[in-house]
Structure 1
Amino acid sequence: MIEPYPLRFKPVLKQTLWGGRLLGDHLGKPIGEGANYAESWEVVDHGADQSIVVSGPLAGKSLRELLVEHQPWLMGESEDDEFPLLLKYLDCNRVLSVQVHPSDNYAAKMPIPDRGKTEAWYIVAAQPDSVVYAGLKTGVREADLRAAIQEGRAEEVLHQFHPEPGNCVFIPAGTVHALGKGLLVAEIQQSSDTTFRLFDWNRVDEQGNSRELHLQRGLEVTDFDRGPVQPIQVRQDVHAWQTLVMCDKFVLRAFQSGPAPVTGETFGDDDRFHLITVPSGTATLTTTTEKLRLATGDSLLLPAALGPVRLDLGEHSTALEMTAV
């Protein structure tokens, strides 16, 4: 049996038309040339997208291999044979398409079955004019949304607000949403890549072609009773772990410091895996055998067998902690 230790992975970088440079400039990710780095998948086990361990006795192993070879060690009481969560960062240099994700039941019946996709965003940085689109305006029904999309005016029926760093936005499956430009976001979600694109802001490529939309399927999975989604604000005066989201897929907590470093409380001795990421500042993770320094953008997977840990923060720092339910 391998002695349990915190796992660091090589980020899986994704380039798309809406990306930028913040994954490298702000979070220290190993991006190359160009200004279209959109996503850094920190912890993932989804088909060909696999996190690879970068240090320790398990270096070179994929997260899929860890699940096959060390399932109880990694997952504890969970009997899931696939890693259920996906942790990522997004650099929204341009507005993303308006999307909606299916539930587990709907996704399982698709030609290529997948999980549903419930997710939550933590706003790391935001330009003053940035916008989050989260949910539909009160009273919007299927016919209203369909007409707005077909007439190129979807923005009129979307609830929207200007986010601030420290905001959290919970997006259950079935919630219509889009991230606006000028945002740097940490996202925790079910391990799924199933997205139905409802509207793409009337954009066309150099050949005059629009991106594919999935209007009928998107309307089928939309929760028209969800209504507007309001941001959850991390309390700036609380320097202890705060629960931001607790749902049937995951728990998301935040821990932040002010002008002085903060010592955290012990957690993790619960026979479950935990994910840690540091969207800003620095942190120190203390286990029963070692101390690990974490810089801005660092992420870890703590195996269930690791036992109790403590996370301490440097000044003006934030850490996020996530686990499956």
Structure 2
Amino acid sequence: MKNILYPLKFEPIYQYRLWGGRKLENLLSKPLPNDEPIGEAWILSDRKDHASKVTEGPLQDYTITQLMKDYPDELMGKLMGRFDRFPLLLKFLDCKEVLSVQVHPSDDQKKYIPDGDTGKTEAWVVLETEKDSLIYAGLTPGTNEQNLREAVQSNKVDEHLHSFIPKKGDGVFIHSGTVHTLQGAVVFEVQENSDVTFRLYDWDRTDAKTGKRRDLQVDEALACIDFNQVNIEPVIPVNKGDKTERLFDNEHFILWRIKSDSSFTVGCINEPRILVCIEGNGKLHHEGNYFSMNKGDVMLLPASVGLCSFHPVNEITLLEIAIPDKKMPATNPQ
């Protein structure tokens, strides 16, 4: 029987954020709405409020939610039954201004996670930087709940945050429980499919859209912080050949970065894979058909698609993401 599923492309979902800018219009082909700051483009999302839609082919306008329900075996392969919804959420972020200082709970902190949601471990790949680019990741040694709570009250939280100046291409792993924020950068983000964020501090600013300060969740944030997560630096890529390096490898996702101007193989037999094009363009070949990928595109390769050949038009930088099929330590082992 002919496979119903094929390589699937999705339409980005734009999100207003007071810290956002307009740079995502240089990355994605879909026009940005209005003139307001757009901080996020959700490029693959299986959320009730924001479900990604297929843009091409016989399944056009199907949501990822419908695909998970109607074609679980073809989509997920040997991972079928492990997840009620697609387990990863993928985004591009345009952080023109600094985000709130925030933390996400871990999967086992059920008290702080709404029913049906999960904790949130995430990772960034830096795509663009500015003169004022800064990533805050982890605390400074010696920070504890008491002195951090006092710092919130005295507007001195940044004194307890480890920071570094990012450069294009950096990979940054943010384990759940890690205090973090960033500014002056465009990044790709892969994360658990969760929208649980606790704001510890928001730089004492007002949202121009509402005229009010955004709510903080100081008690919840402090309860979810892993105070052992200090001095987080960019990961050291692991070379997997002359074209490929692995940036992240943990219990929630594995991510490889492929740079090539000649053909290479992507996908996996009986497992889904996700491709994200961050530079250049090319075509994926599957069952006699070619599927184009341009900068900013995301493509889901259902498990039933298996291995495919990818043919760059020029030098391309492609991210390939896998969902691990077994539990691993969530420490991004290199």
TM-score range (shorter-chain normalised) is: over 0.9
1:269 aligns with 2:271: no
Amino acid at match of 1:42: I
* Structure 1 residues 149 and 108, CA gap change in structure 2 (3 angstroms): closer
Q: Is the 8 A contact 1:124 1:280 kept in 2?
A: no
Amino acid at match of 1:263: S
User: What CA deviation, in whole Å up to 9, does each residue of 1:44-85 have, x standing for no partner?
Assistant: 101121011111121121111111110000011112221000
5+ long unaligned stretches in structure 1? none
TM-score with structure 1 setting the length: 0.92
Q: Identity rate of aligned residues, in percent? A: 37
Q: Which residue of 2 aligns with 1:175?
A: 178
User: What CA deviation, in whole Å up to 9, does each residue of 1:204-260 have, x standing for no partner?
Assistant: 246874211111111111111111111125589974121111001110111124xxx
User: What CA deviation, in whole Å up to 9, does each residue of 1:19-45 have, x standing for no partner?
Assistant: 111111233332132141111111110
Q: Which residue of 1 aligns with 2:52?
A: 51
1:156 aligns with 2:155: no
For residue 12 of structure 1, report the CA deviation from its aligned partner.
1.1
Amino acid at match of 2:26: D
* Structure 1 residues 156 and 309, CA gap change in structure 2 (3 angstroms): same
For residue 159 of structure 1, report the CA deviation from its aligned partner.
0.6
* Structure 1 residues 88 and 208, CA gap change in structure 2 (3 angstroms): closer
Amino acid at match of 1:34: D
Q: Is the 8 A contact 1:239 1:255 kept in 2?
A: no
CA distance in 1, matches of 2:228, 2:221: 15
CA distance in 1, matches of 2:262, 2:131: 29
Amino acid at match of 1:285: L
Q: Is the 8 A contact 2:239 2:245 kept in 1?
A: no
* Structure 1 residues 106 and 277, CA gap change in structure 2 (3 angstroms): same
For residue 322 of structure 1, report the CA deviation from its aligned partner.
0.8
Q: Which residue of 2 aligns with 1:214?
A: 217
SS in 2 for 1:321: strand
5+ long unaligned stretches in structure 2? 325-334
Q: Which residue of 1 aligns with 2:281?
A: 282
SS in 2 for 1:292: strand
CA distance in 2, matches of 1:170, 1:186: 12
Query: Mean Cα displacement is larger for which, 34-43 or 295-304?
Result: 34-43
1:225 aligns with 2:224: no
Q: Is the 8 A contact 2:238 2:247 kept in 1?
A: no
Query: Mean Cα displacement is larger for which, 288-297 or 199-208?
Result: 199-208
Q: Which residue of 2 aligns with 1:186?
A: 188
CA distance in 1, matches of 2:88, 2:53: 15
Q: Is the 8 A contact 1:288 1:308 kept in 2?
A: no
1:128 aligns with 2:131: yes
Compute the RMSD of aligned alpha carbons: 2.1
Q: Which residue of 1 aligns with 2:94?
A: 91
For residue 285 of structure 1, report the CA deviation from its aligned partner.
1.8
Q: Is the 8 A contact 1:23 1:29 kept in 2?
A: no
CA distance in 2, matches of 1:233, 1:294: 28
CA distance in 2, matches of 1:129, 1:237: 33
* Structure 1 residues 233 and 33, CA gap change in structure 2 (3 angstroms): farther
Q: Which residue of 1 aligns with 2:327?
A: none
